[in-house]
Structure 1
Amino acid sequence: MNRLNHLARIMTLSALLAASGLTITSCSSATVAHGDSSATNANSRFETLYQAEWAWRQNKSTSDENTDDNYASSSLPDVSIAAQQQRLARWQSTLDTLDSIDVSALSEANQVNYAVYRLQIETLIADQQFKTYEKPLLGDTAFWSNLAYQARKTFRHEQDFDNYLAWLQDMPRYFDQQIANMRLGLARQFTLPEISLQGRDASVISVVNAKGKDNLYFQPFTKIPASISSAKHAELKARAQAVIAEYVIPAHQRLLTFLQEQYIPNAQPSIAGYDLPDGKAYYQAQIKKYTTLALTAEEIHQIGLAEVAKIRQRMHDVMKEVSFDGNLQDFLTFLRTDEQFYVDTPQALLDRAAWTAKEFDGVADDWFGHLPRKRFAIIPVPDDIAPFYTAGRGGPGVYLVNTYDLPSRPLYSLPALTLHESAPGHAFQMPLSLENNAIPEFRRQSYISAFGEGWALYSELLGEEMGLYHTPYEIFGMLSYQMWRAARLVVDTGIHAKGWSRQQAQDFMKANTALSVHEITTEVDRYIAWPGQALSYYLGQMAIVEHRAAAEKALGADFDIRHFHDMILQMGSVPLAVLEQRVERFIAEGGPSPYQE
């Protein structure tokens, strides 16, 4: 699909603002001149609005997910029905105020902020209207397993340990509210499909069965700094064991009983998003949420089929290069079964992932002018979630590598996985956003899947140019991962909008990717449980690739790949229409480094 045909389907920045009937324009000097009361008023109103709402949102919504490694929250969020209704009212009021702001009077920077912020608010409203809080678990995460991040933190101050103990004591209230919401979802069959819930109680069981110092929530107390007295050490550890026994384990036991006796046995039997309450509208809202595009399920399905065919041709080219005698299915079987592509120990897999990550460090300066300060650790996926967890996941400070079932973790795919999840993918892009004080906090700390996943998938492609794939098999591993994400466009829409069975989706993945059977099973189950999210990757990458090609053609010898990448990453995380306009500006200005502005 050529750039014009594809981008014709992408929402323009103006379309993001269609609800207000306004058009984005560059501000003239007259518009932004000092003394222009209209511009001053518009900018002031908008900045006051988003700053107040963001502060309120942080206080209300995210104390269960704070990612500051050295900070402890003292409570968990209020997720009660009353609180959900308050959220909806606040965001609807915010949208009403956004409608009343003259966008054309905003500064150029605030026009971009407005487009990003408006999409955030519209998405939040849609989630409340569809009551997604009644289904607080997704493909391989859940509200209870998300809390485990807090247990991995290292606290430095006595007050943080006190806060953490208070946070643990708040678990019963928080779990009871979540269970109440899940009961409402269960009553209207707004749940994960029953097949997606098999084994999902394992992470709850692991907390229930671990007493005292063996419980994962005791971990911060094994790292009490020496600056705290030995007497206080003993006191904190004793309090922790008591709190775990009195609050943490009983909360998890009530959740476990609910899951095993009511929720899992009575969950939604269908795997299709269309079969959920108001399913067609719900799935379309998820498409908009994760892709930021105004595409229908059928349009995405057809894009996926076209891209699968293109990638398949290049796969055949690699087969010829290695002189393989057989068809694609024979080659995939060879890749899945030949011992040369697998390791025998978890540490060996971690070591190979670390090697690729360090190889990138050696060429980073050639491809990026600005690097994040935040480093990342490479750690295995925890045992209790590894059987149904994805192959890897990255973010600020961490690259998780799944070492479960080593015969399903091929080495030829590991370089692509590493580039996606660590650097220059998620563990690179996300810190750059968090460290960028030139954009508002609501952009620094927010994540738009089409942008973030699109960038991470583009990072896999970039690995070939960077010389980080050393064999034709590793190139094929990258192509298999490209195929995996293109196939997602077909499979996700097939499952949720076209009546595909679980087996049909698995068969399509087996026929077109080199993923192991285990990984195909867990991945398809993730798409079943998380409608729309899988669509964001390839559509996001397509946009970045097309924009880069346009910039290279327009700028010619003036094109600098470091400037292009820095420009993309300086944005934080934005809708694809906003990205398109930023690239157009980059071209018009001659392709400068954004850090010289």
Structure 2
Amino acid sequence: MTDITNVPLSRRQLMGALGTTTALTMLPGCVTTTPMGTTASGQALLDEFAWNILEHEPLRATSLGVDTGDRAYLRSRLGDASEAGQQAYADTLRADLARARAFPKDGLDPATRTSFEVVESAYSTAIEGFELPYGDIPVGSWRTAPYPVIQNVGAYIDLPRALDSNHPIRDEADAEAYISRLEEIPDVLNGELERMRSARAMGVIPPDFLLERANDQMERQLADAMAGGSLVESLVRRAAEAGISGDWQARADEIVQNRIAPALEAQLAELRTQAAMAGSAPGMSAQPHGDEWYRWSLKSSTTTDMSAAEIHQLGIETLADIHAQMDPILRSLGYTEGNPGQRMIQLSQDDRFKFAEGDAGRAEIIDFLQERIEWVRGEMPRAFARVVDPEVEVRRIPPNEELGAPTAYGGAPAVDGSRPGTFWINLRDTDLHRTYDLVTLTHHEAIPGHVWQGEYSNQLPLIRTILAFNAFSEGWALYGEQLADELGAYDDNPAWRLGYLQAAAYRAVRLVVDTGLHAQGWARQQAIDYFHTNSGVGVAETTNEIDRYCSWPGQATGYMVGKLEILRQRQRAATAMGSAYDLKDFNLAVVEGGNAPLDVMAGNIDRYIGT
């Protein structure tokens, strides 16, 4: 295994850039006394907090597999997407944050103390977001979205996917709950429409290129609904598979075509109204309260107080470090002209690393991903003192969503084991992928990345499985890419190693372009050109990525900021513990500490060092 100090980013980056800008506060060490009842009452309060969140977000209860027993009613609900619903959610968070702060912490065991720290951090940041005059505000989630409906935001995209992949159809009660949720979709869409119009009245208009994509996506979803598509098909197919009799086709068709479709048409009309008013400025600095909104989104996305200028410079320096590692490998393969990103563009044209076109190539990609998952699963005992064994299902992102969707994303299994971890892959065009980039993508999305880490989080109290943080989630997934390297994933294949380094460069570039777009006045094309030239990614994917950063400001910065902090904590632990340090124990301390803000993670590592 590679020595832990041989990391792909310089010591200056690890110990300097983040160490001087995040102002991470170390938490106290382990409490040695735990009076009976104190921890139990704290855990009971944390459970109350969890269920209060799920009352506002019932789909998350379904995703976690906890909408059962006394909470089975949540399976029939979707939540309130209106302005009033948003304010009610914020009021719940304010009340529960006050209760969390008032709860006596003396005597709590370390895990429960950590959970309170996580709650206080997540809630305070979310409340700051709700105090902004517009936008979709994540509560222990990752998507910072100023526009409630755009090409990759909104119920028109989220609900068909969630109902198909997360809502079970095992018996008649499940099917009836699905019907009830269909009946609630028009209210959700109309609640979003209210917020779209309210934002427009404030002068908040998405840029024209995002609205063009959103219009196309909405038209696709509307056509699908009118044709009795995915929302109906999912229920009918799965009810038949489960042997559940009933007139599900007619009932679902009536709701979708007579109630959901008109609500989609109303949203589409609003998008067209906005498109007629839109300009081309891509960044938040062009929007009312945009600078304030972006400062908050960086805080939410990185769980630090780093400024846009600091993140921008960190990206430039980190990219230079990674390019320096790519250069000799590229030269050894005969690629010598241009910067490493430009040479990766040349490498991408090599037929040896391409997949076939069409469905044959899609099948090749799925098989390739599954083979790599099984390889890395077998290596995990070398990297973790306690291993898990999550089931991982590789699935294509639904074709109706592919145009505005990312290249891939992953999610953990359901808490109750009813649904496997999922590796979603965008297969709209097999030319999006190369063998050398899919290897690293597997480690990021599945093992030891999102699915693997999520399996440990699922073993924590319910509130900890709900609250997740972009910098930790994505930072861990990037760290998982490096762990795979240290386990030998790329040892025998220089092109695969280049794919790994290219992925790291990709995340460093994100720091530069996200802050460039939203804080430094970059034009869209300037960001596309910088990304394409320095990452070596094709123009189509680059354009898709830049548009994503315009609709999710700040989110893309969490990846590299989080990875750097995990590496900084790893180096700190190795230095402090000397011969007692073991990589397997460090990795376990991070994942068993759960998904947390970076300062809370640092406190968990304090306790690990002190054991």
Q: Same fold (TM over 0.5)?
A: yes
Of 421-430 and 183-192, the range deviating more from structure 2: 183-192
Aligned to 2:541: 519
Kindly provide the amino acid, as one letter, of the partner of residue 332 in structure 1. M
Kindly provide the amino acid, as one letter, of the partner of residue 163 in structure 2. Q
Structure 1 residues 419-434: aligned runs within 5 Å: 419-434=443-458
CA contact (8 A) 2:150 2:211 kept: no
1:583 Cα deviation from its structure 2 partner: 1.4
**Per-residue CA distance 1:489-521 (angstroms, 9 max, x = gap):** 111111111111111111211221121111111
CA contact (8 A) 1:207 1:215 kept: no
Check 1:195–1:212 CA distance in 2 against 1; reply closer, same or farther (3 A cut): closer
Aligned to 1:124: 126
Q: Distance in 2 between matches of 1:340 and 1:505?
A: 30
Q: Distance in 1 between matches of 2:512 and 2:338?
A: 22
Kindly provide the amino acid, as one letter, of the partner of residue 253 in structure 1. E
Check 1:486–1:138 CA distance in 2 against 1; reply closer, same or farther (3 A cut): farther
1:104 Cα deviation from its structure 2 partner: 5.2
Aligned to 1:21: none
SS at structure 2 position matched to 1:324: coil
Of 240-249 and 309-318, the range deviating more from structure 2: 240-249
Aligned to 1:224: 239
Structure 1 residues 255-266: aligned runs within 5 Å: 255-259=267-271, 261-266=272-277
Aligned to 1:19: none
**Per-residue CA distance 1:514-544 (angstroms, 9 max, x = gap):** 2111111111111111111011000100011
Kindly provide the amino acid, as one letter, of the partner of residue 348 in structure 2. R
Structure 2, unmatched stretches of 5+, are: 1-11, 68-73, 137-145, 413-420
Q: Does 1:235 align with 2:247?
A: yes
Q: Distance in 1 between matches of 2:76 and 2:437?
A: 41
SS at structure 1 position matched to 2:204: coil
Q: Does 1:416 align with 2:440?
A: yes
Of 515-524 and 533-542, the range deviating more from structure 2: 515-524
Q: Distance in 2 between matches of 1:559 and 1:301?
A: 34
1:254 Cα deviation from its structure 2 partner: 2.7
1:44 Cα deviation from its structure 2 partner: 7.4
Q: Distance in 1 between matches of 2:231 and 2:441?
A: 28
Check 1:250–1:317 CA distance in 2 against 1; reply closer, same or farther (3 A cut): same
Check 1:146–1:283 CA distance in 2 against 1; reply closer, same or farther (3 A cut): same
Aligned to 1:592: none
Q: Could you say which structure has the greater relative contact order, defined with CA pairs below 8 angstroms and 6 or more residues apart?
A: 2
Structure 1, unmatched stretches of 5+, are: 15-23, 590-597
Aligned to 1:362: 378
CA contact (8 A) 2:514 2:549 kept: yes
**Per-residue CA distance 1:221-270 (angstroms, 9 max, x = gap):** 21226664xxx6242333233333333333323323332x3233334642
CA contact (8 A) 1:139 1:528 kept: no
Aligned to 1:386: 402
1:457 pairs with one of 462, 473, 478:
478
Q: Does 1:400 align with 2:424?
A: yes
Q: Does 1:352 align with 2:368?
A: yes
**Per-residue CA distance 1:163-214 (angstroms, 9 max, x = gap):** 1111101111221111011111121133433222222234433343235654
CA contact (8 A) 1:70 1:156 kept: no
Kindly provide the amino acid, as one letter, of the partner of residue 118 in structure 2. V
2:207 pairs with one of 188, 193, 196:
193
SS at structure 2 position matched to 1:116: helix
Check 1:507–1:65 CA distance in 2 against 1; reply closer, same or farther (3 A cut): farther
SS at structure 2 position matched to 1:73: helix
Identity of aligned residues (%): 25
Of 176-185 and 4-13, the range deviating more from structure 2: 4-13
Q: Does 1:249 align with 2:261?
A: yes
TM-score (norm 1): 0.88
SS at structure 2 position matched to 1:63: helix
Kindly provide the amino acid, as one letter, of the partner of residue 218 in structure 2. V
Kindly provide the amino acid, as one letter, of the partner of residue 53 in structure 1. F
SS at structure 2 position matched to 1:265: helix
Structure 1 residues 190-339: aligned runs within 5 Å: 190-210=204-224, 211=226, 214-224=229-239, 228=243, 233-259=245-271, 261-267=272-278, 269-328=280-339, 331-339=343-351
Q: Distance in 2 between matches of 1:226 and 1:525?
A: 39
1:475 Cα deviation from its structure 2 partner: 0.8
SS at structure 2 position matched to 1:88: helix
SS at structure 1 position matched to 2:377: helix
Of 289-298 and 269-278, the range deviating more from structure 2: 269-278
Q: Does 1:447 align with 2:468?
A: yes
SS at structure 2 position matched to 1:270: coil
Q: Distance in 1 between matches of 2:319 and 2:148?
A: 33
CA contact (8 A) 2:335 2:343 kept: yes
Kindly provide the amino acid, as one letter, of the partner of residue 176 in structure 2. D
Q: For the aligned residues, what is the CA RMSD?
A: 2.6
Of 49-58 and 161-170, the range deviating more from structure 2: 49-58
Q: Does 1:377 align with 2:393?
A: yes
Check 1:557–1:33 CA distance in 2 against 1; reply closer, same or farther (3 A cut): closer
Kindly provide the amino acid, as one letter, of the partner of residue 414 in structure 1. L
1:463 Cα deviation from its structure 2 partner: 1.9
SS at structure 2 position matched to 1:393: strand
1:572 pairs with one of 569, 594, 597:
594
Check 1:433–1:82 CA distance in 2 against 1; reply closer, same or farther (3 A cut): same
Q: Distance in 2 between matches of 1:163 and 1:76?
A: 11
Q: Distance in 2 between matches of 1:45 and 1:80?
A: 34
CA contact (8 A) 2:436 2:496 kept: yes
Q: Distance in 2 between matches of 1:157 and 1:53?
A: 30
Kindly provide the amino acid, as one letter, of the partner of residue 429 in structure 1. Q
1:53 Cα deviation from its structure 2 partner: 3.2
**Per-residue CA distance 1:355-409 (angstroms, 9 max, x = gap):** 2112112212222243445412112222122123221111122111112232232
Q: Distance in 2 between matches of 1:552 and 1:423?
A: 24
1:70 Cα deviation from its structure 2 partner: 10
Aligned to 2:527: 505
Q: Distance in 1 between matches of 2:92 and 2:63?
A: 25
